[in-house]
């Protein structure tokens, strides 16, 4: 073998396709969470759901969180539009990830850009709105329940940060980026 054949870098077409499948599945999860936040903004939880939600934290001791406390938290979060901002961010993010993953699976460069944009929207909007929800929770709920909403800030940030890293990988990796390059065919038409 010649030295040129050993040094030749070949495009990796399977890597971006595998990432596209992961991003597609992740986009469905992001869309579900966005829809749940939209429902939290529109309707909220009924009395039975609130009782179920508060049962475990209230059993841990300390001052219990009442249904009225939870309703005050929910009202403030709705008034600040925290649930709505997070819902719109996650729904937009999920939509961009869904469409981008289809294009990325077809090895289109626009798919990597759409996925990266979607993850960035989800990261910024999701963390900012989660911080707003946490502020409302600190004002109205007891420590055992506030911990849950504090954890959601970190969960949203880490998850969307990892999604951003995965989405940007085909743009940063040389072999994957070469696979996303448009294939140019040179046709030498010599008709006489």
Q: Which residues contact 13 (CB under 8 A, 6 or more apart)?
A: 107, 179
- Are 144 and 62 in contact by the 8 Å Cβ rule? The answer is yes
Q: What is the pLDDT of residue 186?
A: 60
Could you tell me the pTM of the whole model? 0.85
Does 52 have pLDDT greater than 90? no
List the domain boundaries for the chain. Answer: 12-42+75-174
Q: Which residues contact 148 (CB under 8 A, 6 or more apart)?
A: 57, 137
When pLDDT is cut at 50, 70 and 90, the band that residue 99 belongs to is very high
- Are 130 and 153 in contact by the 8 Å Cβ rule? The answer is yes
Share of the chain above pLDDT 90, in %: 63
For 102-127, what is the mean pLDDT?
A: 96
Token output for 57 = 């934290």
* pLDDT tens digits for range 152-191: 999 999 999 999 999 999 999 888 888 886 656 566 666 5
* Alpha-carbon separation of residue 94 from 21, 55, 90, 151 (angstroms): 14, 32, 6, 21
Does 1 have pLDDT greater than 60? no
Q: Is 190 left (phi over 0), alpha (psi -120 to 50) or beta?
A: beta
């Amino acid at each position: 073998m010649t030295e040129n054949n050993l040094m030749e870098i070949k495009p990796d077409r399977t890597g971006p396709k595998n990432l596209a499948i992961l991003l597609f599945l992740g986009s469905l999860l992001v869309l579900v969470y966005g829809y749940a936040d939209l429902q939290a903004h529109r309707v909220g939880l009924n009395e039975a759901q609130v009782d179920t939600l508060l049962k475990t934290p209230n059993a841990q001791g300390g001052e219990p969180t009442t249904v009225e406390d939870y309703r005050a938290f929910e009202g403030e979060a709705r008034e600040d539009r925290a649930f709505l901002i997070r819902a719109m961010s996650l729904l937009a993010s999920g939509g961009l990830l869904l469409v981008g993953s289809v294009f990325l699976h077809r090895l289109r460069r626009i798919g990597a850009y759409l996925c990266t944009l979607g993850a960035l929207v989800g990261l910024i909007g999701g963390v900012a709105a989660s911080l707003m929800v946490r502020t409302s929770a600190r004002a109205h709920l007891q420590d055992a329940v506030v911990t849950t909403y504090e954890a959601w800030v970190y969960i949203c940030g880490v998850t969307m940060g990892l999604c951003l890293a995965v989405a940007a990988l085909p743009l940063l990796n040389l072999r994957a980026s070469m696979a996303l390059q448009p294939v140019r065919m040179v046709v030498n038409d010599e008709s006489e």
